[in-house]
Every structure is written in C-alpha cells, then in structure tokens.
Structure 1
Amino acid sequence: MLSKFFRPLYPLTRSLLVPNIRVKRLVHQSASRYGQLIPASQYDAPLPKRLHLTYALKNYWELIPLALITLTSLTLMTLSLIWASFHKVDVVYTAHSRANISRTMDLRNPSVHKLVIINQRYEPWPEMQDVLDKMRMAEKRALVRLQTCAHA
C-alpha cells in the first residue's frame, strides 16, 4: 500500500532537490527505476467487482432482504441513540455540568424517562426536594451577598 503513495513522489522530490531542466529528463527515467525497487503490496490490487454493493445487489438479488433488514436496524439504532441523547436524564456529556438529575428533577412530581414501563412508579420524595430548595436558596443568598460586597 505504501508503494502506491511513494511512486508519485519520486519525480517531485528529485525535481525539488535539483531544479535543472536537463534533470527533468532523468527524473522520468529514475522514477520508473525507483518504482520497480518498491515491491507491490497486497493492498495495491483493486477490490473485485463482486464486493461493490451496487454490483452485488444487482447480480445477487438474494442479498436485498439482508441489506434492507440491516439498514433498517442501523437506522432504528441511530434514531434511538439520538432520542436517548436528547430525552434521557442520565446522559451526561460534560463532567463539569451541574445540571444533573438530582438538580433538575422535580422530586415532588417525578417524571418517567423510559421507552417502555412495566408496573413501575416513581414515588415522590418531598424531603429531598425540600433539601434541594434550601440549597438553591442558599446559593441565591450567597450570590446576592457577593454582589453587594463587591460594590461596597
């Protein structure tokens, strides 16, 4: 595979090193000589036609249901991942985010964030909600105190 990338570079490197007009004629000769020194690898061969998707679906029609089922499942998986990233409360993208479930969820009236629910209820937890309310009020008081002290 590397030989595919190195072959076009030999004339370029030769002409950059010795920018002479007469050398250009030698560059073409030397490029073919150097190209033969680098052995071809197994990756230089093109893919066979039967491995191309359009050719395989046209000539081997038995693959069409397999391709449809695979594409459908990949589409459903992608859509479910997108849905979960926007609607699930336990998905956190940043470690420094303070908007996690314990701060954003209403514990007096809990909501359900699942696709399928079978005999499950979230019980209200008013004591914890009272603690969260006290924490929010303390944060607001501290913020107001900082603002008043900064102007004095």
Structure 2
Amino acid sequence: MSQAIAFVDAAGALEETGGILRYVLVFLLAMVPAVEPFVVIPAAIGLGLDPVATGAAAFAGSVTAVCLIVCFQEWLVRWWRRRFGGAEDADDGRTGRARRAWERYGLAGFSVLGPILAGIHFAALLAATIDGRPRRVVAWLAVGLGAWTVVLVGGSVAGLSVLGLS
C-alpha cells in the first residue's frame, strides 16, 4: 500500500516539474526510502521521460544513498538501536528475509536480492554492518542496483509498449 502511495506521489512530483529538473528529481526520489528506483523508474518512464536518462539518474541516486549509508553506518546502527531496541535481531519480516539471504548467498547474492527483500537502504545498512568492508559493500550493492535498474527500465519500456502507451 505504501508503495502505491509513493508511486502516485512520485508521479505527481515529476509531472509538476519540467526539463532537466525532472531528472534531478528522479535522482533525489531514488534516494528516498519507500520511493527508491522500484517506484520512480516506472513512474518517470510512464510520464514520458527518456528511459536511459531516467535509469542513469535513478541509479546515481541509489548509489549515492548507499554510499551515505555505508559511510554513516555506525551512527545509523546506534540510532536504530536507540529507536527500536533489539528489533534488528528479529527473525521475521524484512530483517529475517534479509538475514537469511545473506547467510545463504553472501554479499554478492545479497546485493541482488537485498533491495527486493529489504529495500535498498536497509540492505546497505545490513551489508555494511555484517561485512565491515565499506568499499566492497558499495561495489557489490552498485552491481545489484545496476542489474535492478536495467530490469526496471527494460520492464517499464516493455510494459508501456505492450499496453500501447509508448
């Protein structure tokens, strides 16, 4: 439900802007939890933005968010523990799915599955906390985000084409 609301909000914001500001907004929206590339890419392409430029802007925004999360990982973990207590040890919901993916597939597999299972932001925080090698975490998450960006752009273009809207 929240992603449907995020989709409508993202589409509305993109409709109200024009020119290059639309791509700047795609960059910024890709950094926002709940919007992320999974919402902003289909919304932007559906509104007629160039698919390649949209994908590049969304990818850049997502990787920027991942870099910031990895850089401030220790501070974010302390904040999370103060706010939610021991919730990071839960074995249900997003946390449980993400931890099981990490245990089964390691950093490389988690970089592809994490954004879908837990969201980009939580996946970056979890990977940085578990792995502890910031450059490696950012590199692998960028690979995963790149793969998802290609899938989302291709799927959005194909979906619009099938519907006769492109």
What range is the shorter-chain TM-score in?
under 0.3
Higher relative contact order (CA 8 A, sep 6+): 2
Q: TM-score, normalising length from structure 2?
A: 0.26
Q: Which has the larger radius of gyration?
A: 1
TM score, norm. by length of structure 1: 0.28
**More helix by proportion, 1 or 2?**
2
